[in-house]
Every structure is written in C-alpha cells, then in structure tokens.
Structure 1
C-alpha cells in the first residue's frame, strides 16, 4: 500500500486517478525501477487515518507524489480506505546469490506483508 507523510502524519493514497505515471514516481522514490503493477481497491489492505492524495494528475516528471496536481477539500473526501492504492515495482539490476555460497557478505532479503495485519512487514535474514 502506498502511504505518504505530510506534516508528520502518514496517510494513504486513493486509487482514483492513480495511473502508471504516478506508479513510476512512487517506484522511483523508493529506489526501484518502473511500476510493474498497480493494485487498487485496497488490494494490500485498508489503511487507517488520513487519505492524503486522490485524483492525481501526474505528468511523470515530478520528483515526488506531492508535486502532482491532486484534489483537495471536499473533493478529496469522496475517497475511502476501500480505495487505497498499492504498487509493485520492477527491481532493475538485481543480482542474486546461492544461499549456500561461501562468498563473504552475501545478502539475502525477503519481505512479505502479513495479510492479517497489513501494517506489519516481516523481514527474514
């Protein structure tokens, strides 16, 4: 699920108007490649609290989602957490290693979202 921090408060992003351009901005902000898939309708769970952005109209050149034109005021209130958006990003230039390799400093990372509590991410060494 995509969440942004505005004025020290984390909030979600609505899927209304969220397109490939917006997805690419999110993936770029996170240090990944381009967007692989956009998951709407709270496909990664419903957030809580504020819904910060809805009806995004990104050009694709913005540095972050906050630079995209978006709805505000009463128009923004039309979105619910049932419309929280998530993204999957392409991961470019990733090399993998054999888990049994004896090379020093090999790194392996696995992260998954706990569907029972989507706000918790578990990482395994």
Structure 2
C-alpha cells in the first residue's frame, strides 16, 4: 500500500487526477488509459470550481499522472492492449484504498463535492 502522507505534497491538479483514477476504479474501468483519466477529470472539474482549478488540459493530466507515478501514488499496469488505438499508451491503477484516499483528501475543502462523488461511485 502507498503512503498516504505523500499526498500532502500534491497539487490540486494531482488530487483531481487521483480522484479521477479512483472514480474509474469504482466503475471497474481500471487499468485506465491516460485519455480516460483526462475525460473523467474534465467531466468533474466543475465540482472543484473552475475559478480554483481552471480547465485541465490533456497535457496537464498526463504530466500529473507521470509525477504521481514517480511518487508512487499511481501505478502503471500492463494491459496487453493489442488494439491500434490503445497500443503503447500507459494505463494506470490506484495502489491504495479508495476510502483512505477520500478520507485523506476530504480535508481539502476545495474537493468536498468531488470526494463525495467518488465515495458514491465507489460504494
């Protein structure tokens, strides 16, 4: 299991991306390709508040996934994707308990609505 104390050093973008991967996991859509994470995060950004986060680009989410992987907060998964569309794209999973993640991120008032949404999806 991943150290949740490492989450203290994450940015708001990192936290939204973590919750995006958690949501996909709750829907049994993991391992998730970066494009799926982007789509999920963009769909949920209004729950954070556009004035706080702004619009997330695909590049920002991809960069956040790389940084989160480096920190051990997401893991790449071998999906053995043979389709021409998904070939070579990394897929990610959350190496921690979603409830613990939501509890930890629940302390960030900016994420209240998003954390509540992920809790609902993952129950």
TM-score (norm 1): 0.28
Q: Which has the larger radius of gyration?
A: 1
Task: Report 1 or 2 for greater relative contact order, CA contacts < 8 Å, sequence distance ≥ 6.
Answer: 2
Which is richer in helix? 2
